[in-house]
Amino acid sequence: MTTATPATSAPRRLRAGVIGLGWAGQQHVAAYAADPTVDLVALSAMEDHLLTRFGDEHGVELRYPDWQEMLEKADLDIVSVATPTFLHAPMAIAALEAGVHVLTEKPMAQSAEAARSMVEASRRTGRILEVSFNHRRRGDVAALAQVIESGVLGEIHYAKTGWVRRAGIPGLGTWFTQAEKSGGGALADIGVHMLDMTLHLLGEPAVRTASASTYADFGPRGRGGSGFGISDVADGVPFEVEDLATAFLRLEDGATVLLEASWAQMIPSDRCSVTLYGTEGGAELVFGTPEGDHLTVWTEVAGLPAEVKPAIGPDGRHAAAVADFIEVVRNGDPAEHTGEIALRRAEVLEACYRSAAAGAEVGIGA
């Protein structure tokens, strides 16, 4: 299909497709459709009404209930995979082997083994594999990254991060709450966003050990549902994952991270946050609350306490993730974009679940 285009030549328009037309897939569709250098030529979904709706809305003529047929016939350069987690690996690998560059939704796969097979396929085929961690493209995250880079915080030794919902289990009894299909509950679904955001801000240090616990207090009783998806608990479908997870991570540079993720808890409202403790200052980023978002930095100026509110730019979210993917396809080195960072996230998640099952701290990697 396509490789990086020399900067001196006009870029060839890329032929794009999207597999899966749920909420996330719809964001990818909109991003491709808005890019003047891309032709959105094919969509694949099992739901006829979604194929019709988004195909008509964006003038996409090629519509496939069968994603494999799309890969065979649509002559794609790039494809987004926005399907249930257990389908990411087989779909991504098939696309890579068909010569198509792949952007897949998070979490990367339902297991570290499946994620590893995706990375291996990317390396084997020389095609790019990226994972859409859209929250690291927030404007406040970019602003906090600039604060860290400036040195205002000094060395960061400790971070607290988490995403906790009042009631937000996505589809009791659907694939979200079936362990083999999802790979986990709240930690794999929304905790991975905060894990990715925090390690990204800290400069990608390796995680060496994990000590975690998981709990399922609401889902098994049919409580804490978000209204997203259909509840099948009353019909006997088991709730097989956690609705709360906590983890303590030790990093290679000696820093530590406390991570929590929950779909349902008796709290006033939802809250996403990252708090950083540095030798010269501290910072807190909070978003997703009824009170609004904020980014605050605490430090000292001339020996006096100072509070700083950094300027925040616009959010990028999924559109930025798609734009970054397109840029990498055009100008990046495929050997440097094989999904390796997302694989590290998958390995941390798996270590957390192993630790919770064993009731002990476990090692990660070498």
* Token output for 65: 């209930």
As a whole number of angstroms, the distance between CA 148 and CA 201 comes to 8
d(CA 67, CA 76): 12
What's the one-letter identity of residue 144? Answer: L
- What are residue 160's DSSP bridge partners? 258, 275
Question: What backbone torsions phi and psi does residue 297 show, to the nearest 5 degrees?
Answer: -120, 135
Q: What DSSP line would sit under 104-153, residue for residue?
A: EESSS-SSHHHHHHHHHHHHHHT--EEEE-GGGG-HHHHHHHHHHHHTTT
pLDDT in tens, the chain (366 residues): 555 555 556 678 999 999 999 999 999 999 999 999 999 999 999 999 999 999 999 999 999 999 999 999 999 999 999 999 999 999 999 999 999 999 999 999 999 999 999 999 999 999 999 999 999 999 999 999 999 999 999 999 999 999 999 999 988 878 999 999 999 999 999 999 999 999 999 999 999 999 999 999 999 988 898 765 544 454 556 789 999 999 999 999 999 999 999 999 999 999 999 999 999 999 999 999 998 999 999 999 999 999 999 999 999 999 999 999 999 999 999 999 999 999 999 999 999 999 999 999 999 985
- Walk me through the domains of the chain, giving residue ranges and CATH numbers: 14-134+319-337 (3.40.50.720), 139-314 (3.30.360.10)
**Given 3-state DSSP classes, what are the helix, strand and coil percentages for the chain, each rounded to the nearest 5?**
40, 25, 35
Cα(134)–Cα(142) distance, rounded to whole angstroms?
12
- How many Å apart are CA 18 and CA 113, to the nearest integer? 24
Token pair recorded at residue 209: 């050990």
What span, in angstroms and rounded, lies between the C-alpha atoms of 247 and 141?
A: 22
Q: What is the helix (H) or strand (E) element at residue 67, kind and residue range?
A: helix 67-73
Please state, as a whole number, how many other Cβ atoms lie within 10 Å of the Cβ of residue 359: 9
Strand 156-164 to 256-262 pairing: parallel
* Distance spanning both ends of the chain, measured CA to CA: 36
**Please, are residues 158 and 220 in contact by the beta-carbon 8 Å criterion?**
no
Cα(201)–Cα(154) distance, integer angstroms: 13
The DSSP code sequence of 226-265 is -SSS---GGGT----S-SEEEEEEEETTS-EEEEEEESB-
Q: What is the four-CA torsion angle of 56, 59, 61, 65, rounded to 10 degrees?
A: -50
